[in-house]
Amino acid sequence: MLCTALVFFMHLGFSLLEIGLTRQKNTVNILFKNFFIICIGLVLYALIGFNLMYPTSFWRGIIPDYFFALFGLVSPSVAEGLDLTYNTGYTYWTDFLFQGMFAATAATIISGAVAERAKLGSFFAFSMLYVGLVYPLVGSWKWGGGFLDSWGFYDFAGSTLVHSVGGWAALVYITKLGARIGKFSSEGKPMAIPGHNLPFSATGVLILWLGWFGFNGGSVLSADPALTSLVLTTTSLSAAAGGLAAAGFVHLVYKNFDLTMFMNGILGGLVSITAGADLMSITDAIFVGAIGGVIVVLAVALLDRLKLDDPVGAVAVHLGTGIWGTLAVGLFGSAASLHQFFIQFIGIAIIAAFCIGFSWIALSLIAKFFGLRVNREEELNGLDQAEHGGMNAYADFRMNQH
Amino acid sequence: MLCTALVFFMHLGFSLLEIGLTRQKNTVNILFKNFFIICIGLVLYALIGFNLMYPTSFWRGIIPDYFFALFGLVSPSVAEGLDLTYNTGYTYWTDFLFQGMFAATAATIISGAVAERAKLGSFFAFSMLYVGLVYPLVGSWKWGGGFLDSWGFYDFAGSTLVHSVGGWAALVYITKLGARIGKFSSEGKPMAIPGHNLPFSATGVLILWLGWFGFNGGSVLSADPALTSLVLTTTSLSAAAGGLAAAGFVHLVYKNFDLTMFMNGILGGLVSITAGADLMSITDAIFVGAIGGVIVVLAVALLDRLKLDDPVGAVAVHLGTGIWGTLAVGLFGSAASLHQFFIQFIGIAIIAAFCIGFSWIALSLIAKFFGLRVNREEELNGLDQAEHGGMNAYADFRMNQH
Amino acid sequence: MLCTALVFFMHLGFSLLEIGLTRQKNTVNILFKNFFIICIGLVLYALIGFNLMYPTSFWRGIIPDYFFALFGLVSPSVAEGLDLTYNTGYTYWTDFLFQGMFAATAATIISGAVAERAKLGSFFAFSMLYVGLVYPLVGSWKWGGGFLDSWGFYDFAGSTLVHSVGGWAALVYITKLGARIGKFSSEGKPMAIPGHNLPFSATGVLILWLGWFGFNGGSVLSADPALTSLVLTTTSLSAAAGGLAAAGFVHLVYKNFDLTMFMNGILGGLVSITAGADLMSITDAIFVGAIGGVIVVLAVALLDRLKLDDPVGAVAVHLGTGIWGTLAVGLFGSAASLHQFFIQFIGIAIIAAFCIGFSWIALSLIAKFFGLRVNREEELNGLDQAEHGGMNAYADFRMNQH
């Protein structure tokens, strides 16, 4: 239950990270979006997910049973909901809340990538579909005991099942959405659009690191104290190594102490270790994190070259190191083998195909009927003006216009 | 003990919420006020409350025993303070600290409502009286096993005993204090005075939500894991439903995605569920929270119509939904019955009469001898100028004057 | 493990406190510095400290055993790392992570004192040496069962072993570094250089208070629930008393409600109680904290008189009340005696001599080869400009130049 609280707190971390790395004129919009994701995620998960699972639900009579089976759902009776023997040491409710908090994370990842130009309603529509359908379906392939699980695919706490799933959608979304006005010069050169509040971003990163204690620690679901302590240690070391590697690599290349790369490197280290946090020694964890940190820097540069605009680096962090962390299970730690590496690769490829395909189709339909992007004037004035009645995030402060 | 830490952390949530929704020129004042409340609350609770309870205290010889009985206090010996059998699984100290953290919350609620024009010393005097006398006395009627408890009045974690108790005082205080200069036009039309840092407010709301895990979770005092998990689930769902309902209702009426109403709706959902968090099913929790969210919006509009000025919406959130949540125990969940509804209503009415009466008399006396409000010039210049030697919360930033 | 999370979170508290009390032009620099300390501290602790301790490490063959003995290190086998019997109820990994989080704290204390003019690389070099050598060596004298422990020196959670150790280095560092440009007028009068974001500082203080629950609570290493609850109570009361005493004392002298002194008083109360949190009654805790609060105010004034410049008051808080709290073990609480007081005094003196001596020599060498301070132009433009490629912490805000 403590871990659930920490995973909940990650939503504050994501929100602060995102507003800090974007412009002040879109701050209210980003906060609104994040509040919405948390709230609708929980309520939908309760109304649909929960009702789907429980036989007393009125959905039960309407929707055929094979639909439940599709999502790998079990159907305990309501009385079992308070049963401590539901699983080793926790109740159905604990599981429900932890999973509900988890699910919304995938939408939050997308949110960061599409910031500053996505239409609010269209984003809500897509993220509800994605969190409601893609996330649990893909999850059922592994955590629900589906075919990936039976093949031996390993993903401890979601490098692929949470982070890459969010990352693939983010990648497709920014491809269809296009870059923010001013992100690329007329010659196609990438231009820096600096974030407006780096202390918020730094706060967000440290809150996320704290939350990862709950995310990875809570995924040792039976709360085996010995294993939990190992997982928290590998998690922290990978984060630290990721940050140092990213900052060091940037310093070598650009002769500069780059704070945002340091922060993204830490997040990259956290995502990298998520697939195998319970399998790694501390030396493994440091290697996995450090390589993850370098991958973040390279992925950011690659996106720039592809003229894709991801204001907060969500694709680099969550997709780039999500893939890396999943592959790393086959290369480092106690499960490493060529066979395992191959299975990890296959799992990533299948999930990639499904997520990209779904996202492309769903976003094309939404684009056709509602549009994905605010208009030029709205973007230039900022989304707080356009969608929130001119609410100003910092009413007393004087601002530079840009 | 973890829950105590989370309840402590709520003070940060309240502080950030309050400074974010007010003007920057009063920021230092608000922070000072909140630090003072936390610190004096703990120390007074230790020096007076604690000494009152323990026979070795020198107060014991001076103050007659019926005074203790009045507050429903037990008197364990000092040695019992470290006794784990004091109650199921926690010591006297744990209880002391949790209660001490709780008590200061009532003062914090008042603090938000009177922000930007209340005189610091007068506010301190009133809140010390209120937290020292009214809060424990009212609490003893129910939690101390007093007459409300014997009637069957139900309030799990304080919709009435904490939130409404604070809310009634806030209502009386802002009535006597009057609106801030500029809040109502000369024709009596309410004017928006925008908060200066909405990311702080949003951070505050999410920290409060997290803290509620401790507030409601910790009120399952014996830490029954099964019941705690239910309580955390109903708490989160009510918060989510409150936020969505408030934002949705405002959107219907004003065609606008209103962030501050979203935030206050979440808080309203949290207060609403506090009285019956252990009695509700998840569907109940969603209904209770959603209605709470709508009540917040209506209560804000009502206060505007009454020309009462509550900068942070404390009365709407804590009193409005505090009443609603207490009544809801009679309407939703496993204790719902007409009889229960009637008892809840009676309990609310008695506590209302007492809190309003005490506040009115105490504030009238304080107004007479010290005044409640800073003078016009001090208010226009900001309280940081007037009461804190011109300390500037944001020395390097350029500000708009208003 | 929860306590480890809270101690980790203290790094956010330190960072926000420090950036809030300094100027915006150095914000990126401070954040970078703090991220670096956390990350390098953990990784070095793992690569060196950990490998030193474990027989499978390749260091083991290279470095002779007496080196391990010097640091008071035990050498369990690797298999013991997951053994719950390693100590009452926690594993080696828990211990490792908790200690690793602890160690970096000493560097963070120094960081605050030298802010706004120290050269980044030189600071990193010194703090790595200090955290890697001085901190564990001094710690081994007491916590490793060394000579101070055998003499009966008492330091529950590190008033001396963490806070004073950091504080002595900070004092030496600012002596050699000199004051910031503009801190003292040409006549030598101290001038206020106001911090740029007091809400950040206030947030930092409350996060630190929360973190101290983990710091002191976690130092009851076997997690004895009764003793832990006493420790959290004395910790909170000392913090509250420290804040009130500092604010009250300043109010008496300067007729002013001073927020920064309130905040530093709270921190002073926390440091004061750290040496004897498990020995004090609640009345003792209030006295110890209140005296600590007054000491902070006096120490700040003393540093001003000595023309030493400590932007965040780190020396006053961590050294001043670190000494006081250690002495207080001989004056208040269940261990108080003249004999104990004398031993505490001797312990403080020996550690002071060692820390001052080491810092003086190490900083003199670093000064000679690399320099300690950025040049005048870099300092005036701000370190964000000089060392971070002009990265702006608040790109959209208009700033006052100073």
pLDDT in tens, C232-255: 999 999 999 999 999 999 999 988
* Predicted confidence (pLDDT) at residue C390 exceeds the cutoff of 70: yes
- Inside any domain, residue A158: yes
Give residue C207's pLDDT band: very low, low, confident or very high (50, 70, 90): very high
Q: Which pair of tokens denotes residue C316? A: 């006053």
Residue A398 lies in a domain: no
Higher pLDDT, B383 or C74: B383
Q: Amino acid identity, residue A309? A: D
* For range A35-60, the mean pLDDT: 68
Confidence of residue B73 (pLDDT cuts 50, 70, 90): very low
Q: How far apart are CA B139 and CA B166, in angstroms?
A: 12
- Would you say residue B53 lies in a domain? yes
Interface A-C, measured as beta-carbon pairs within 8 A, has a size of 152
Residue C4 or C71, more confident: C4
Q: Which two tokens stand for residue C264?
A: 């530093």
Chain B environment of A2 (Cβ under 8 Å): 2
- Using a pLDDT cut of 90, give the percent of chain C over it: 67
The token duo for B126 is 């009133």
> Which chains does A contact via 3+ CB–CB distances below 8 A?
B, C
pLDDT (mean) for B320-334: 97
- Is C13 part of a structural domain of the chain? no
**Nearest Cα to Cα of residue C22 among B183, A158, A374, A199:** A199
What SS3 state is found at C295? Answer: helix
What pLDDT score was predicted for residue C92?
66
Angstrom distances, CA of residue A78 to CA of A53, A55, A57: 10, 8, 10
- pLDDT digit string, tens, across residues C137-194: 898 888 877 899 999 999 999 999 999 999 999 999 999 999 999 999 999 899 999 9
Specify the pLDDT at position A103.
77
CB contacts < 8 A (B, C): 153
Nearest CA in chain B to C239: B39
- For residue A79, name the pLDDT band (cuts at 50, 70, 90): very low
CA-closest candidate to residue A224, choices C93, B30, C270, C290:
C93
**Cβ within 8 Å of residue B313, ≥6 positions away:** B21, B112, B260, B264, B296, B300
Distance from CA of B287 to the nearest CA of C (A): 34
User: Are A199 and C47 in contact (CB < 8 Å)?
Assistant: no
Q: What does the pLDDT look like over A176-189, one tens digit per residue?
A: 999 999 999 999 89
The domain spanning residue C182 has which CATH number?
1.10.3430.10
| In-domain check, residue A395 | no
Contact C50 A24 (CB under 8 A): no
Tell whether the model's pLDDT for residue C134 goes beyond 50.
yes
All residues of chain C having their beta carbon less than 8 Å from the beta carbon of residue A229 are: 1, 82, 90-94, 97
Tell me the HSE value of B299 on the side-chain side, using a 13 A CA sphere.
Answer: 27
Give B383→chain A minimum CA distance, Å.
15
pLDDT band at B51 (very low <50, low <70, confident <90, very high): low
Contact flag A36-B244 (C-beta cutoff 8 Å): yes
Range of the domain at B344: 2-387
Touching B (3+ Cβ pairs <8 A), the chains are A, C
Whether residues B226 and A1 touch (CB distance < 8 A) is answered with no
The question of ipTM being above 0.85 is answered as yes
Contacts of A238 (CB under 8 A, 6+ apart): A269, A270, A272, A273, A277, A280, A285, A286, A288, A289, A292
Q: Is the Cβ pair A397, B228 closer than 8 Å?
A: no
Q: What is the pLDDT of residues B143-173, one digit of tens each?
A: 877 899 999 999 999 999 999 999 999 999 9
Give the span between the Cα atoms of B372 and C48, in whole angstroms: 61
SS3 for chain A is CHHHHHHHHHHHHHHHHHHHCCCHHHHHHHHHHHHHHHHHHHHHHHHHHHHHHCCCCCHHHHCCHHHHHHCCCCCCCHHHHHCHHHECCECHHHHHHHHHHHHHHHHHHHHHHCCCCECHHHHHHHHHHHHHHHHHHHHHHHCCCCHHHHHCCCCCCCHHHHHHHHHHHHHHHHHHHCCCCCCECCCCCECCCCCCCHHHHHHHHHHHHHHHHHHHHHHCCCCCHHHHHHHHHHHHHHHHHHHHHHHHHHHHHHCCCCHHHHHHHHHHHHHHHHCCCCCCCHHHHHHHHHHHHHHHHHHHHHHHHCCCCCCCCHHHHHHHHHHHHHHHCCCCCCCCCHHHHHHHHHHHHHHHHHHHHHHHHHHHHHHHHCCCECCHHHHHHCHHHHHCCCCCCCCCECECCC
- How far is B76 from B67, CA to CA, in rounded Å? 16
Structure tokens of A51? 């009702």
- Given this model, what pLDDT does residue B90 score? 52
**Mean per-residue pLDDT, B302-330:** 97
Specify the pLDDT at position B60. 43
Which residue in the set C8, C19, C94 is minimally distant from A199, CB to CB? C19
CB atoms within 10 A of CB C124: 16
Cα separation, B237 vs B50, in Å, equals 36
Q: Is residue B396 part of a domain?
A: no
Please check whether residue A108 lies inside any domain of the structure.
yes
Q: From the list A197, A225, A257, which residue is nearest C84 (CB)?
A: A225
In a domain, C207, yes or no: yes
Chain-wide mean pLDDT for chain B? 87
Q: Is C256 close to B4, i.e. CB distance below 8 A?
A: no
A118 DSSP β-pair partners: A373
> For B198, which of A1, A36, A393 is closest by C-beta distance?
A393
Total domains, chain B: 1
Instruction: Name the more confident of A223 and A395.
Output: A395
Q: In this complex, do A195 and C395 lie within 8 Å of one another by their Cβ atoms?
A: yes
More confident residue, A220 or B130: B130
C120: confidence class by pLDDT, cuts 50, 70, 90: very high
**What's the rounded Cα separation, in Å, for the pair B131 and C63?**
62
Length of chain B: 402
CB-based contact A157:A235 (threshold 8 Å): no
